[in-house]
Structures are given as structure tokens and as C-alpha cells.
A and B are shown apart, each in its own frame.
Chain A
């Protein structure tokens, strides 16, 4: 009798265990029909030009939901305005995780803002995925296993510029203009590394500005006065436009390198004056949608159709409408890979398990790869020169490992 009961019991527990294994695993915010995710964005304040990214992603999720969602689950994006202010980001991250119970944060924007919440997200073990910042510190799975960056980092990019200068310009005299914050420092770190021992000899002027400065005219004059022949322009969009215009106005003709965060045709090059930007060099990982060479490529046509239908009021020349579109594809891939195991652990595991993913609007040949030890999804860029009214690619793909 006893034996029978034990057998029954163990059989019962076996079926329970079996059931549990097949049962769906859900993080907070996820049900059979819904995946709730959070985001912080600068819809107001200094960096509000980047707010278009959040709006565009909301539009993309609307499209996905219309088509039935991902594995039958609709995406609910709660995208909140942090005004680009780190304490506010902290408050909102808490709100999203604790009150709104989102499954994870996706594409929160800004370097300082993400720095403010990185520890919190890792303590809470909530995925902090595909950050919209190019700082080099996000790929650190040992110390921050719940945080993963996205775009090629600033450090790598400036290293690529430095290598290109050394290889192509005879006896360069370099003047640097940089924003005096985390972004500027990260870029300059890569630049210093790229120039190596040449730094002392080649850099003849290094001027900073604050985001609160009304103009940077004085700095540009200082740089010109140094006799530099190369201009490394490490700025954000508004100041990039000012710098490009001022350099042309004072008749300074350096070889001009511009960081990718400020290389938007619609938000920088056009306002600065197309004629003033000719010959500027930048680095890209995404297709420039103003470049006629992509006009017939299927991914461009698909993107254009999406924009026209789902986000018709957006300015299609703004680079953020492309970058935000690209990263959404990576997220969709991760969620598809998760299947029905949508625990936070598995979401993170799948995010670190992307293999050779090709995404529309990435430059041909660039693929997304992650692994438990590689939290840098994109590490490859290609140089481009501003010709006519668009960026024209030249040279080969350059990756961080190759430099």
C-alpha cells in the first residue's frame, strides 16, 4: 500500500516536473499576449533631437502588432521622457521596473543617462539592452552581465580615424574640437590610442566646448590659428553644424573628420550648408538613405514604405530614423529566439547569442554578432566622404579587431 502510494506520488511529481519544463516561463510584464518593455528617451531638453528614435520605434511596434506581434505576443513600449538628465533617468528606470513591471529596458538613449542606471539594472537583474550610446564601456559582461551596448563604440571609431590619418596624410598637424563630457572623452581616448606615440607630435591644438556654450566661434579660431591641416571634429549635431559653417566662413581648409553621431545629412549637413561640407570624412555602419546608390536596394524600399505608412510625419533625412529602425530588428530576433522561454535570464542569454544576423540598412557585409564574452553587437564601420548632397563610401570595412 505504502509502496503504491509512493509510486503514485513520485509519478505525480514527475508529471508536475514534466509539465513545468514545458510550461512557458515569463518575466514580469510578459503574458501569453503581451511583452511590455520600457525605454527612456530625451523627448525634451538638450538632446531632444534624438527623441525621434523613440517615436520611430513606437511606430515600428505598431506595425508589428498589427501583423500579429512576435510569436503571437504584442509589444507594448513604454517610452518615457528623461530630458537627458541622469537623475530623471534613474527615477524613470525605477518606475518602469518596479511600478510598470516591464520585462526589460530597450534602447534607452544617452551615455550619462545610462551610466546612471547601469548599476541599478544589474542589481535588479533586469536586461538593459542595446543602449543608444556609443560609449565603449557597455560591453563588459564580467562586471555588468545585464547591460549590452549596440552601435560601434566611439573609442573604436576614433581609432579608425587616427589610423586613416596616419596612413593617408603626410605629416598631419591635427586640431581637435571636442565636447567636454563622457562622449568627447571616450572618442579622444580612442584617438589617442590610434595615434600612439604620434600624439605629441601631430596634435597641435585641442579645444573643448561645453553644451551650454552659445557658439564655438572662438574655439574654431583657436584651432585655425594653430596652423593645423587636419580637423578632428568631435561634436554633437548643433555644434557640428556651427563648426562646419564657421570653418568655411573663415576660409580654413583642413582635412575634416567628423564623428558619426553628428554626420546626419538632414540634421547637420543641410543646415550647415551643403557647399560647406564637401569632402568631410566620417564613418558609417548604416546605409545613408540620402545616398542615391541605395535607392533601388530592397531594404531601402522596405524602410521607405514603413516610414511613409507608419511614421509619415517624420523627417526621413534624420539619421535617428534609420538607426532606431535597425536596432529594432535585433530585438525582434532576440525575442523570436527566446520562443516561449521569456524569462529575463533567457532574454539576456539570447541577446548574447546572435550569430551573423543581417539587418536591413546595415552596410553590405556588416553582420551582428554577440556571444557570452562579446557584448559589442556591432564592431565594423566604413569610411565615407561627403560629396554632392550625400555620403559616399570608400575603402574597406574596418572592424575594431582589425585596427
Chain B
């Protein structure tokens, strides 16, 4: 029984990581209608910036805050400079562009900081909540931050004018433009926010998995799985999806199929959900008026 609880606790922690990354993916999807494959690498790169600052003696929270700001503006910048010219390009051109960004950021990080893993400090105290090594403050912290981000995003997209404008711009650019929404800037804002969320995810993940340029590659796949299982157009669904993938992966891996097939299991979940309920378990089916 203790083993079962441990596996669930560890599953929830990895689930929180996937959920964080999934949130960034949802953010981009909701605000631009695309899936950004470079999301993970951008987050990794931001985490390196934070690491450099902390290494140079900047206090943790200052580094944390300024990294989010820098990430936000770089996201904005990338959209303005690289993606704006492609606004009317076919979706495949964008995919190629995202993959290019992925390898550029990966190689750049390797060049600047080398590929050796680095220890990233955790903002949370090194305490053991129940005294049995089951749940650490770091794990609770990751879950808490993910939930807070989720709450903020939900409120933002549902109740603020800006959030609604962003969704409108992504869903139906032409109508939004007629309503006076500056569509192009909404897309840029979406990139900025997603990049900021990615930075937070990166800084939360790094103390657990260690910082290296390939830190996010494995996680991104599970993040996708979480987002798709929960519903990629729905922040709440994506977070729930992340947790579901994390916990099920651990339980199925420990009890049923063995560790070898954990990733395959996550992918099978994705395929299954897409076949049976394409909008995701918690997703609403969006009907578009033509």
C-alpha cells in the first residue's frame, strides 16, 4: 500500500511537470491556433538565463522574476520578427519554422553553456513533508505553482477583455479584426505569455531533472500527451491531462506493463483520446460557423 501511495505521489509530481509544459502549449494554441514545437527548448533556454543570473550571484527570486520578463519579451520578439512574415503562410511552413527554432535554441544553449548537466537551485526548502521521503516541499511547490498558474490563466481568458480578445483573434481573425481587435499584436502577446509560462515551467522542472540542453525533449512529449488527453484548447483540461498522464504512467509502468512501455502507453492514450473524443476528455467540441 505504501508503495502504491508513493507511486501516486511521484506520478503527481511528474504530472505537475507535464501540466506546466502543457499549459504553455495550450497558451500558444488558444492564442495563435498553432502548436509550438519549440516550446520546450524556449523554456530550457530561459532556464539557462536564470541559471546564469543565479550563478553570478543574483538572488533567486530576482532572477526568477527577470527571467519571466525576459522570456515574455523574447517570445514577443520572436513572433514579431520571425513569425509575423509567415502569418499568411501555410501551416506546414510554420511547423518547419517551429522545428528550426527548436534546434536553434538547443544548439545555442549547448554552445553557450555546454552539454554537461547543471544543478539548478530550488526555491522551496529541502524538507520532507511527512518524514518518510514520500513528498518533498519541491514536489508540493511544483503542484501548487501549476495550480496557481492555471487559476490565473482561467480567469484571464474567461473574464478579462484582453484574454477574450486574444481568444477571438486566434479563433476567427477576420471577425475579430472587424470588432476592432488588433489581431497581429494579440498573437504576439500570446507568444510572450506562452514563453513566460514556459520559463516558469523550466525553472520548476530543472531542480528535479537537472538542467541540460536536452532537458525538455522527453518532457515535451509527455506535455503534449497531457495537453491532448485533457483537451488542448482548455487550460484546465490540459492540467488535469498532465496529472492523469503522470499518475497513470507510473501505475501502469509499476504494475502492468513494466517500465519499458511507459512512453508507448502515453502515446497510446493520446491516440485513444483523439479517436474517441478528439477535443480531449475535458474539451468542448468547437463548432465553427462557416
Which of A's residues lie within 8 Å of B, judged by CB? 43-46, 48-49, 51-52, 180, 207-215, 217-219, 221-222, 225, 237-238, 241-242, 249-252, 266-268, 270-273, 315, 318
In the complex, are the beta carbons of A241 and B117 less than 8 A apart? yes
Instruction: Specify which chain B residues have a CB less than 8 angstroms from the CB of A267 in the assembled complex.
Output: 116-117
Contact indicator B17/A217 (Cβ below 8 Å): no
Contact A270-B3, Cβ < 8 Å, known A210-B262, A212-B217, A219-B259: no
Q: Name the 9 nearest CB pairs between A and B, nearest first.
A: A250-B133, A48-B115, A251-B133, A271-B119, A49-B115, A214-B218, A225-B3, A214-B219, A217-B10
Which of the segments B81-89, B204-212, B281-289 contacts the partner chain? B204-212
- Nearest CB of chain B from residue A84's CB, rounded to whole Å: 10
CB distance from A50 to the nearest CB of B (A): 8
Whether, in the assembled complex, B106 has its beta carbon less than 8 Å from a beta carbon of chain A, the answer is: yes
Known: A214-B14, A250-B134, A318-B116. 20 other contacts (CB 8 A): A43-B110, A49-B114, A49-B116, A52-B114, A180-B259, A209-B259, A210-B259, A211-B218, A212-B218, A213-B259, A214-B218, A215-B208, A221-B254, A249-B128, A249-B133, A251-B132, A251-B133, A267-B116, A271-B118, A271-B119
Q: B115 to nearest A CB, angstroms?
A: 4
In this assembly, does B13 line the interface, its C-beta being within 8 Å of a C-beta of chain A?
A: yes
Assembled-state Cα–Cα distance A52/B110 (Å): 11
Q: Which residue of A lies closest to B219 (CB)?
A: A214
Judge if B222 is at the interface, Cβ distance under 8 Å. yes
A163 to B128, CA, bound (A): 37
Tell me the number of A-to-B contacts counted with CB atoms below 8 Å.
109
Q: Is the CB of B14 within 8 A of A215?
A: yes
**Contact: A44 with B110, CB < 8 Å?**
yes
Q: How far is the CA of A205 from the CA of B257 in the complex (A)?
A: 15
Q: Which residue of A lies closest to B221 (CB)?
A: A212
Question: B107 to chain A: which residues have CB within 8 Å?
Answer: 44
B214:A46 contact, CB within 8 angstroms: yes
Residues of A within 8 A of B118 (CB): 271
* Chain A residue nearest to B136 in the complex (CB): A249
Given A46-B214, A267-B117, A218:B133 Cβ within 8 A: no
Q: When chains A and B are docked, how far (Å) is the Cα of A238 from the Cα of B118?
A: 9
Determine whether the beta carbon of A49 is less than 8 Å from that of B119: no
Residue from A51, A209, A218 within 8 A of B10 (CB atoms): A218
- Cα A341 to Cα B216 in complex, Å, equals 50
B160 within 8 A of A: no
Bound-complex Cα distance A152 to B118 (A): 28
Chain A residues within an 8 Å CB radius of B259:
180, 207-210, 213, 218-219, 222
- Name B245-272 residues within 8 Å CB distance of A: 249-250, 253-254, 258-260, 262-263
**Cβ contact within 8 Å between A238 and B212:** yes
- Residue B52 at the A interface, CB < 8 A? no
Query: B195 within 8 Å of A by Cβ?
Result: no
Any A CB within 8 A of the CB of B47: no
A208 with B260: in contact, given A242-B210, A249-B136 (CB under 8 Å)? yes
Complex CA–CA separation, A51 to B115 (angstroms): 8
Q: Which residues of B contact A211 (CB under 8 A)?
A: 218
B188 CB, min distance to chain A CBs, angstroms = 30
A218, B210: Cβ atoms under 8 Å?
Answer: no
29 residue pairs of the A-B complex, CB under 8 angstroms, read A44-B107, A44-B110, A46-B214, A48-B213, A49-B117, A49-B212, A208-B260, A209-B259, A210-B263, A212-B218, A213-B259, A214-B209, A217-B13, A218-B14, A218-B249, A218-B253, A218-B259, A221-B6, A221-B7, A221-B10, A225-B3, A225-B6, A238-B209, A238-B210, A249-B133, A249-B136, A250-B134, A271-B119, A271-B210
Residue ID in chain B nearest A247 by CB atoms: B133
Distance between Cα atoms of A52 and B11 in the complex (Å): 35
